Amino acid sequence: MSIAVLGAGAFGTALAVSYAQKGPVTLWARDPDQADAMRQTRENTRRLPGVKLPENVSVTAETATAFTAETLLLAMPMQQMAGFLKAHAATLSAKTLVSCSKGIDLATGQGPTGLIRSLVPGSRAAVLTGPSFAADIARGLPTALTLACADHSEALQAELSTPTLRLYRTTDTTGAELGGALKNVYAIAAGTVIGAGLGDSARAALMTRSFAEMLRVALALGARAETLSGLSGFGDLVLTCTSEQSRNFRLGHALGSGAGFDPSITVEGVATAEALNALAKKHQIEIPVAAMVTALTQQKISVSEAMKILLARPLKEE
Ligand SMILES: NC(=O)C1=CN([C@@H]2O[C@H](COP(=O)(O)OP(=O)(O)OC[C@H]3O[C@@H](n4cnc5c(N)ncnc54)[C@H](OP(=O)(O)O)[C@@H]3O)[C@@H](O)[C@H]2O)C=CC1
Ligand SMILES: O=C(CO)COP(=O)(O)O
């Protein structure tokens, strides 16, 4: 089997570096100048500086070259995925398309597998998700992820596992992709709490109530509870809410502390919060924490107002 990674950001580059241990990997960058620079320097200086690209990684800006692989890993920001799939639908059918992106498409409310199934009907859709920072994967640090695919995926699991990247499989694509998408929203909340100096106890409370929200949403949308308790849900929530490596956490920290934040940094939780609010409204699910994140990121509310609203909610059973 052969692998190509579509999207040469931090995560796509890290995955290409990791899978190059097992054989040749094609890394597709949309920008020909960036592809040239990466070929010359053997480094993605903009998105993943300090990591050498192994010889087994071929960088290209030609989709025709990348699309010769059988397994294609989609590693672009979530709001870009639908456009990419629509543009290349004809050539992508009959491929295995593994989404590595975390989010909900704002226009349709779909996750990655929903988009893949509706826009590229002949393909096979899978999701690779879980607690993993690009820099850790690229350095070969031990990591465990969830591979979700509706059909039997043992062969894909073996193909995408490495000695340091251990995959657990599930058929619950809805649960896996919702866990990965929603944890980013709550990481913004956790970062806000820490940035505003509200303390570790407040963060633990918020993470716990966030997990309750994640579970409520996921169950309402047909996911299995055990998926949310696994790597793609609980595991990634813990990582992202507790590490300053997380861009979602760092955006929240900036909101909480009043610091500035570079708008060119990919922060999936902002659009996901908006998409989540629309889904929750449609399905009548209570999401008080995520609602506050949306209001905060849209500058409709201050951090102290958000805190007061959450603490003043009616007392109830856990
Ligand atoms: N970084 C991480 O640690 C992890 C990230 N992820 C997920 O991976 C996804 C990508 O994130 P990440 O790599 O970190 O983001 P980056 O910001 O590092 O890079 C985004 C990449 O996507 C490319 N891109 C943007 N728009 C398009 C498009 N229309 N078609 C093709 N490529 C496009 C960008 O190209 P250009 O430079 O030309 O703009 C860039 O190479 C996100 O969903 C994220 O949640 C998942 C796990 C870990
Ligand atoms: O998904 C991630 C870790 O699992 C990366 O998180 P950020 O996008 O917040 O950096």
C-alpha span between 211 and 197 (Å, rounded): 22
Ligand positioned closest to the Cα atom of 233: 2
**pLDDT at residue 152, rounded to an integer:** 85
Q: Which residues line ligand 1 (CB under 6 A)?
A: 7-12, 30-31, 34, 47, 75-78, 80, 83-84, 100-103, 132-134, 266, 268
C-alpha count within 13 angstroms, C-beta hemisphere, residue 146: 31
Instruction: Choose, from 52, 183, 281, 308, the residue flagged as catalytic.
Output: 183
**pLDDT at residue 268, rounded to an integer:** 98
Tens digit of each residue's pLDDT (9 = 90 or more) over 123-142: 999 999 999 999 999 999 99
Residues 77 and 183 both lie in one domain: no
Tens digit of each residue's pLDDT (9 = 90 or more) over 244-279: 999 999 999 999 999 999 999 999 999 999 999 999
Task: For residue 95, indicate whether it is catalytic.
Answer: no
Domain that holds residue 73: 3-171
DSSP 31: -
C-alpha span between 119 and 87 (Å, rounded): 10
Place of tokens 């992202």: 240
The pTM (predicted TM-score) of the whole model is 0.98
- Give me the CATH number covering residue 41: 3.40.50.720
Ligand positioned closest to the Cα atom of 128: 1
Residues 148 and 206 both lie in one domain: no
Q: 125 CA to middle of ligand 1, Å? A: 19
DSSP notation for 239-269: HHHH-TT-HHHHHHHHHHHT----TTS--HH
- Examine the pLDDT at 120 and tell me if it is beyond 90: yes
> What single letter denotes the amino acid at residue 302?
S
ipTM score here? 0.99
Asked whether residue 130 is marked as a ligand-binding residue, the answer is yes
**Consecutive H or E run containing 52:** strand 48-52
Q: 306 CA to middle of ligand 1, Å? A: 30
Residues 13 and 156 both lie in one domain: yes
Query: How many structural domains compose the chain?
Result: 2
Tens digit of each residue's pLDDT (9 = 90 or more) over 61-100: 999 999 999 999 999 999 999 999 999 999 999 999 999 9
Q: 310 CA to middle of ligand 2, Å? A: 25
**pLDDT at residue 294, rounded to an integer:** 98
